[in-house]
Amino acid sequence: MAVTTEVNMGAKPVKTDQGAFDAATSAKRKDLFFAAGGLIVMVISMTLLLTLIGDLVIRGIARIDGDFMVSFPSRLPERAGILSAWVGTLLVMLVTALLAVPIGVGAGIYLEEYARKGWLSNLIEINVANLAGVPSIIYGLLALGLFVYGLDLGKTVLVAGMTLALLILPIVIVSTREAVRAIPRVIKEGAYGLGADQWQVMWRYIIPAARPGILTGAIVGLSRAIGETAPIITIGALTFIAFLPPPPISGDFPFISFDWLNAPFTVLPIQMFNWVSRPQADFHTNAAATGVVLMAMTLSLNGVAIWIRYRLRKSYRN
Amino acid sequence: MADTMTMDDTAVTTGQSAPEKQEKVDTTPPIKPAKESGALRARLEDFSFTYADGTKAIKNVDMPILDCKVTAIIGPSGCGKSSLLRSLNRMHDLYPGNEYEGQIILEPEGENLIGPGVDPVVVRLRVGMVFQKPNPFPKSIYENVAAGLRVRGIKNRAVIDEAVETALRRAAIWDEAKDKLNGSAYDLSGGQQQRLCIARALAPNPEILLLDEPTSALDPIATAKVEDLIQELSKSVTIVIVTHNMQQAARISHRTAFMYLGELIEFGETQQIFTNPRHPKTESYITGRYG
């Protein structure tokens, strides 16, 4: 600061300007390099992704028709379909969502707002973050030992849902905590300042404001769960199922049945895995088609997330 | 290089401030507030406050708060004025480990706000607060003002409607807001938002209204409006305001408390504090020698 003033007051202001100009040019050049580098990296990764998806779509799209969606697997590739797989995926996702979202959101809010801060909460925080990085097959092994053999629940829709719920629980917890933490302190203090108690602050101010973030976390978790194969294989899901689980709603009293929870099942990634490992080329086409369906489900799940988030943001502001 | 610089700096600072400090360390004890003749709304008795990290932010303060008057708390940054204000509605209880000592007596019942077994939530139901930065909730204008009533479990639509209008009128923002009660509070300007926050605090009829530097984020015109509002309100509600702006304290308050390093140095009629301070530290501060 002092130096600049001296030079400016001295006889050579031009030289200072030249130096500043050089510095600005050099900074601009660095910006340019960085931008170009980022662009190249982005183009490479997008190209890879699009190639992958494009390849899958080109090979599989022609195979997708009504019959493919409503047929059970078969040993003849042209008659095989993915009915049991997509129904299984939907049911497992339903169980996963119903378990992981309430437990994860509750745990996240508790850890962020209620739990006493100390070494214990720090330890839990670190471990929850670590759990998000545990390989999914480890969850599969845990589920096999605990749910399938320990609790003797069998290789059912319920167990698969529980396994995947465990798997995505850390994601839901972490994103809930982040969403809650992102709420400005002044809003919380404003609510407390009016005489609101913790319960009121929680339900009227924090949860409504955090809802978009919480929801995003839940759906990111679910879209991870939908493609998981390893833990489902580990718990011993079947790869060939030629029947559907009993429907949840029936015509007879009491109209609602939970038998589907205890039914054996398969899911899309397993069906795909199974077909890819066959020698016949036609089965590979089936696998590609299954992949397209799986991807469409994931993308529409994300689409729903974006739409809900947008709607919530709008409605909450008004 | 950097090290020597720092050492030089330190040397220079200490060298310079040493004689000055000796001059400043006057032994004049803080001046205890005189007995007030007007009606009291609250009084602090030997009140101290310590943050969780051990910082003693307020030291043995005795101070009256007069009913339906504006009490201004002034002092340099870090003097404990905001900490004192936030003690009055027990905002410090939101963060664990903070500790109050002494008494804050709410008159005329003589209830100690920081006594054992007193629920901070109940204190905040009686003592409202407006913050430094306008902090409307991300809801409609109507819902912002109604928030305090809803917190108190009031559900009757007519009652809430009336309270919202009264509060908005008292906060002098009714004319600007009446046509967009269902619009977002975020669409108001900063000054309007702050008056909305004052309306929000007024709606449940608090016994004391705390204002924590309410105009520091506002432009001069919005500031003038809020100041007019405070003077108008002081006819019907007890106000305690913390301000950095000494002219503001001189303009709008009836009593002024000057705090320094957690101590209440001098308390008195605003006129007297600004024209004839009795304590040398008060004089230094209001003549701009520090802070």
pTM: 0.74
Of A184, A194, A209, the CB nearest to B148: A194
* Residue B152 with chain A: CB contacts under 8 Å: 195
Q: How far apart are CA A122 and CA B199, in angstroms?
A: 40
CB of B172 within 8 A of CB of B195? Answer: yes
Q: At what angle do helices A83-109 and A281-317 cross, to 10 degrees?
A: 40
Please judge whether B140 and A318 are an interchain contact, meaning their C-beta atoms are less than 8 angstroms apart.
yes
DSSP letter string, B78-123: TSSHHHHHHHHTTGGGGSTT-EEEEEEEETTTTEETTSTT--HHHH
CB of B215 within 8 A of CB of B194? Answer: yes
The residue among A117, A186, A188, A194 with the most chain B CBs within 10 A of its CB, best to mutate, is A194
* Residue A188 with chain B: CB contacts under 8 Å: 94
Among A209, A193, A200, CA closest to B153: A200
B233 to chain A, closest Cα gap in Å = 18
Give phi and psi for B5, each to the nearest 5.
Answer: -55, -50
Of B121, B131, B151, the CB nearest to A189: B131
Tokens of B78: 């870090």
Most confident range (mean pLDDT) of A297-301, B109-113, B249-253 is: B249-253
pLDDT in tens, A145-189: 888 788 877 777 888 888 889 889 998 999 899 888 888 888 889
ipTM of the complex model:
0.81
pLDDT in tens, A3-25: 444 444 545 555 567 788 888 88
Please judge whether A187 and B138 are an interchain contact, meaning their C-beta atoms are less than 8 angstroms apart.
yes
**How much of chain B, in percent, has pLDDT values that exceed 90?**
19
Q: How far apart are CA A107 and CA A115, in angstroms?
A: 10
Strand partners, B65: B42
- Which has the minimum average pLDDT: A119-123, A247-251, A256-260, B18-22? B18-22
CB of B256 within 8 A of CB of B280? Answer: no
